């Protein structure tokens, strides 16, 4: 496992245990953190989101962007306020876009520099499109 970035700091493993979607639905214990693979949709846990403290969304490969959509759906549609953690093949180049979609914790892939990752999370100071974390530039200028 690579480094964990949470609350914009590099942290030791927080020992948060994530259940797979199947384990979560079968367990009946609703106050557990949930792990979703890229091919699993957040609608499967929509009824339980108020009780879930954290959701990990898996990036099985750098080029697989399905978890971006799940993060945006969680934040925009369901107003999920818990932690959304990126896991799997999480690389520096992705971090700024992940933040814009609603991720707030990251387990970096092996070999990724956590100090550089912190700088990448800050990203740009403005965007032309509305995102989960900021208003578009044209609204700031109005």
Kindly list the domain boundaries of the chain, sorted by start residue. 4-141
Please state the separation of Cα 91 from the chain's center in Å.
Answer: 13
pTM of the model: 0.85
Residue 22 structure tokens: 């199947």
CATH number at 4-141: 3.20.20.70
What pLDDT digit, counting tens, does each position of 18-54 carry?
Answer: 999 999 999 888 888 999 999 999 999 999 999 999 9
What pLDDT digit, counting tens, does each position of 72-117 carry?
Answer: 999 999 999 999 999 999 999 899 889 989 999 999 999 999 999 9
């Amino acid at each position: 496992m690579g480094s964990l970035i949470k609350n914009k700091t590099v942290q030791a493993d927080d020992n948060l245990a994530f259940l797979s979607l199947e384990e979560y639905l079968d367990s009946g214990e609703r106050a557990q953190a949930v792990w979703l693979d890229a091919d699993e949709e957040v609608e499967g846990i929509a009824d339980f989101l108020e009780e879930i403290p954290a959701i990990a969304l898996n990036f099985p490969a750098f080029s697989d962007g399905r978890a971006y959509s799940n993060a945006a759906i969680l934040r925009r549609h369901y107003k999920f306020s818990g932690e959304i953690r990126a896991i799997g093949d999480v690389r520096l180049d992705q971090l700024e876009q992940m933040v814009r979609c609603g991720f707030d914790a990251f387990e970096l892939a092996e070999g990724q520099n956590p100090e550089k990752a912190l700088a990448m999370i800050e990203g740009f100071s403005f965007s032309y499109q509305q995102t989960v974390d900021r208003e578009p530039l044209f609204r700031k200028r109005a």
